[in-house]
Every structure is written in C-alpha cells, then in structure tokens.
Amino acid sequence: MNVAIYCRLSEEDRDKLSEQDDSASIQNQKAMLIKYASHNGWTVYDIYSDDDYAGTDRNRPEFNRLIMDAKARKFDIVLCKSQSRFTRELELVEKYINGLFPRLGIRFVSLVDSADTNNKGNKKARQINGLVNEWFLEELSDNIRSVLTTRREQGYHIGSFAPYGYQKDPNQKGHLIIDPDAAAVVREIYSLFLSGTGKQGICRILNERGIPNPTEYKRLRGMERNKHTQSSPLWSYFTVSNILTNEVYIGNMIQGKTGVASYKDQEKVSYPKDQWIVVRGTHEPIINQDTWDRTQELIAQKATPSHKEPEGMFAGKVRCFYCGYRLRSVKNGKKRGFKCERHALSHDACTGAYISLRKLERIVAAQLQLLSEELLDEEMLEEGIDPFADLRVQKTEIESKVASLQKNIEQSHTAMRSMYLDKVKGIISASEYADHVLALSEEKSDYEKQVTELTEHIEQIEATLSIHNNKKLITSQYVGTRTLSKEMVSILIDYILVGRKDPLTKETPVEIHWNF
C-alpha cells in the first residue's frame, strides 16, 4: 500500500532553526509518521509538508498538491498526526475525508485522534472532531479580533509593516517612529504637489531618479510579504495619491478600514468611514498641519465628478496590450480616451497604448453586432439547421460506447468473482487463478481507461454546446442595439486589450475578451 504523509505547522507554533529549515515540530511529525508507516508495511509515496500555514488556509501549496495526486490515485492512504493537521474546517472534513477519499478508495488515518475511514463506526468521531475544531477556530478568531480592536482603539499600530515613511519602534510595540530616508521622499511629494506638479508628473520625477516605490523599498530591506510575488518598482498615480491623502503623515492613526467577513473567508471587505478607528496624535508627524490643509484644498479644487463621464462604462475593463497595465482615462480638450499609465510613468517600462473613447465604442459595438449575427443566423434558424448537429450525434455515439464498456467492466467483475469461487472449490489451482485474474484485471483496467477518456470527450462536447447556448442567449438580448451602455459592457465583456496605433495602417489593435 502506498501512503501519502501530510504534515502541517502553523506560524504561531513554529520553531525554526533558520529560514530554510523545516521546524523541529515538522521534523518530529515526519519521523513519527514514517515510523508508523514502516510498522504497518506501507510504502511512503511522498511527504507533503506545509510549514507556516493555518489549518483554515485553503491555499496551502502542499495540501493542494496532495489533493491533486489523490485525484490521480497515486496512493492508497493519507496519513497525518491528527485530523486538525489536515484541516480544521468541518466543510473540508466532509468534502475530503468523508467524501472524496472514500469515493477514490483512499483511506485516511490520523494517529493522535485515531481517525480511520476504514472503521465505519469512526465517522461520527471524525465529524465531532471537525465540529470541535470549528468551535475552536471561531472562538479563537473572535478573541483575536477583540484584542486587535482594543489595541487599535488605544492608538497602537497593527500590521506586519509600518506605513511608508515610518518604521516600527524597536523599544515600544505598536509605536511608529520616522524612517528618515522614506520620510524625505514623502515630504518631497507634498512639496512638488503644492508647487504645481501633478501626480503623474511626480511619478515621472521619482522614477527618472530611480527612487524605489514603497513596495520595492520594503523588498530592498528584506521586508516583502511574499518573496514569490513580483511587483513593479515604479511609482504609480494611485501610490502618490494615497500618500497625499493619508493622515498617518500628520501623526494620526486610522485603522480598521478593511477586514475579513469571517475566519473561513479571508477575502477582504471595506468598511464605511464611520466604522474606521481613528486615534489622533499617536506618533511624530512627517508633514505639518498647514502643509496638509493646503494639500487637501488643492486636491479638492482639482477633483472633478466622474460619475457622468461616458468612459465610465469601460472603467477597469481596458488594459495595455504590451504590459497588461490598466489604461487610465485621460482628457485632451473635448477628446477623451485611454492611455497606458506605465508608459507615462517611465517610457522605458512599456511601448505604450492609446485609444480614443469614441473609437473604442465603435469597435466594441461593431464586434458585438458581428458576434450576434454569427450566433443568430436568421436563414439557418428559418430552415431549422442546427450547426452543432454533428457534435450532438457524436456525443450520442460516445455515450453508447461508454455504456458498452461499463457492461464489459461489470462482466470482468463477475468473472473475477466466479474464478475466486472456482479456486475455493478446488476447480482451478491458485496459480491458474492468479493468471486469470491478472489477465482480467489488465482487461478491466483498459476498459476503465477508455471510459475515462471518452467521458472527458463527452464533457468537452457538453462544454462547447453550453458555451454556444450561453453566447446565443446573452447576445440575443442586444441584437440591433446601436448604443452601448455600462450594463451591456459589464455583462458581456471581461476585459479589452488595446495596443499602439500602427503608423502605416493607422489601425489600433483591439482584442475583446468576452464573458463567455
């Protein structure tokens, strides 16, 4: 029997010798589980080890690799120290331990709490363990949230990293002190803005001088949150805008702007302004009050209402063909359009892309009309022609073949049982029985492989038909529509790639990615 060993240690209880080493506890788990597997005569297929991951984290890399290998049936047993090491969520206990693994014929065993899916009477105990873990997590989450809220209300900074311009006080937990190098950049940003330089212009100045943006600044000091995620070192319009409107620079601590809905769902949600936790005068300011007031007045003067602008229908949908950066809405006199911000920040960063709003509207409307005509060919509809008739026939033929193969699989099962009875009765010898069963097993395995391949083919056909029907249903609502709306763009379009106008043909490359 091949066994997959799974180990996990959360960040809270780690005990690392160095950044590269597994924690001592992980090593102990491995040693214990390998010894148990050896004692039972099981062969270790692989060891899956997640260090510094919580039991509720569904993005654990080794956990997800184990699930993928389980689906490929690469092992017969999953072995853990305890059920909670595998997962602390009752939902995942039901999904995998009580659901997927039994369907795949994979046994789940944990040592400390004696969970074993081969023991039918053990299921209630596993569910109770899962429920207890759920209660534990919920209570722990509430306690942590309460403690963090109290500390925020007391004016302590809560976060892995200090805001740009500050650093954590090594002598007082939760207190911020000024970082001289970054603070100098913050002061220069305010100075440039008050002297008349726009946010885009500030970005260009900082980028041309090679000053790293806040994310790159942290990375250069070994403080990045995720070493595997790459980000641009360039300053952006939104980064400068955030610095110019953040009260942390006048000594005020504003926290609790975002949070998570529950310990199960780690997706961030934004809270309304009246729920933010604001404590004034918690640390030394970088910007004085007069500079702050003048900056906010200038921002208010420059601000223009954007809810009436027609380009709002494409907001967040238009991206650069070359770098993937979101194109920013721009205005030149009465002409509106979209421009690659990354190219504007540094000409070396990207070739750049631009398209006028009017031109983009024309192209999208024309593409939508072509798509509608292609899917709703009136002549074909009138004549009752089904463009996917051959595909439907092919699906029926494959389904018939699958049914035939499944009968063959069942016959192989029956033959194996019959051979076993013949062996017990002494009609055939043990060696003859082994030879026959091996042949039948290979034959059955071949049938099952064919069924799997054909079933996947059926699923592909069904997906093609479903996509076509979905396209047909959605686009039929907009046939003959001459004017685009925000609702249409939101429903129909995922994103649009725009390139740079060709100097010879004068054509601007546009690639529309539909939502179906």
pLDDT tens digit string along 313-333? Answer: 788 789 888 888 888 888 877
Question: Pick from 273, 302, 331: which residue ends a domain?
Answer: 302
> Are 495 and 416 found together in one domain?
no
Confidence of residue 431 (pLDDT cuts 50, 70, 90): confident
Q: How many domains does the chain have?
A: 4
For residues 246-253, average pLDDT = 93
Question: Pick from 256, 284, 302: which residue ends a domain?
Answer: 302
pLDDT surpassing 60 at residue 334: yes
User: Residue holding tokens 């100097």?
Assistant: 503
**DSSP 8-class letter at 312:** G
Confidence of residue 381 (pLDDT cuts 50, 70, 90): very low
pLDDT at residue 379, rounded to an integer: 45
> Are 289 and 183 found together in one domain?
yes
Q: Mean pLDDT for the chain?
A: 79
CA distances, 246 to each of 45, 229, 249, 264, 308 (Å) = 53, 26, 6, 30, 27
> Are 345 and 489 found together in one domain?
yes
> Are 186 and 314 found together in one domain?
no
> Are 350 and 455 found together in one domain?
no
Confidence of residue 175 (pLDDT cuts 50, 70, 90): very high
> Are 362 and 509 found together in one domain?
yes
pLDDT surpassing 90 at residue 62: yes
pLDDT at residue 70, rounded to an integer: 94
Higher pLDDT, 12 or 486: 486
> Are 370 and 505 found together in one domain?
yes
Q: Which H or E element spans position 510?
A: strand 510-514
> Are 141 and 289 found together in one domain?
no
pLDDT surpassing 80 at residue 309: no
pLDDT at residue 15, rounded to an integer: 46
> Are 43 and 103 found together in one domain?
yes
Confidence of residue 133 (pLDDT cuts 50, 70, 90): low
Taken in order 338, 343, 347, 352, the sign of the CA dihedral is negative
For residues 296-320, average pLDDT = 71
pLDDT surpassing 70 at residue 36: yes
Question: Pick from 271, 302, 333: which residue ends a domain?
Answer: 302
pLDDT surpassing 50 at residue 308: no
* Ranges 14-23, 287-296, 381-390, 409-418: which has the least confidence: 14-23
Residues 244 and 193: their CA atoms lie apart, in Å, by 9
pLDDT at residue 387, rounded to an integer: 54
| Collapsed DSSP state (helix, strand, coil) of residue 440 | helix
* Ranges 96-105, 157-166, 267-276, 298-307: which has the least confidence: 298-307
Taken in order 422, 428, 431, 436, the sign of the CA dihedral is negative
pLDDT surpassing 90 at residue 443: no
For residues 393-405, average pLDDT = 88
pTM equals 0.44
Percent of the chain surpassing pLDDT 70: 77
pLDDT surpassing 90 at residue 5: yes
- Here the CATH number for the domain that contains residue 57 is 3.40.50.1390
> Are 370 and 500 found together in one domain?
yes
> Are 201 and 273 found together in one domain?
yes
pLDDT at residue 475, rounded to an integer: 54
Give me the domain span that covers residue 187. Answer: 154-302
pLDDT surpassing 90 at residue 14: no
For residues 53-78, average pLDDT = 89
> Are 166 and 286 found together in one domain?
yes
Torsion-angle region of 323 (φ positive above 0: left; ψ -120 to 50: alpha; else: beta) = alpha
For 190-231, what is each residue's pLDDT tens digit?
999 998 888 888 988 998 889 999 988 988 887 765 554 556
Burial of 386 (0-12, 13-18, 19+ CB in 10 A): exposed
pLDDT surpassing 60 at residue 6: yes
Residues 512 and 500: their CA atoms lie apart, in Å, by 15
pLDDT at residue 288, rounded to an integer: 94
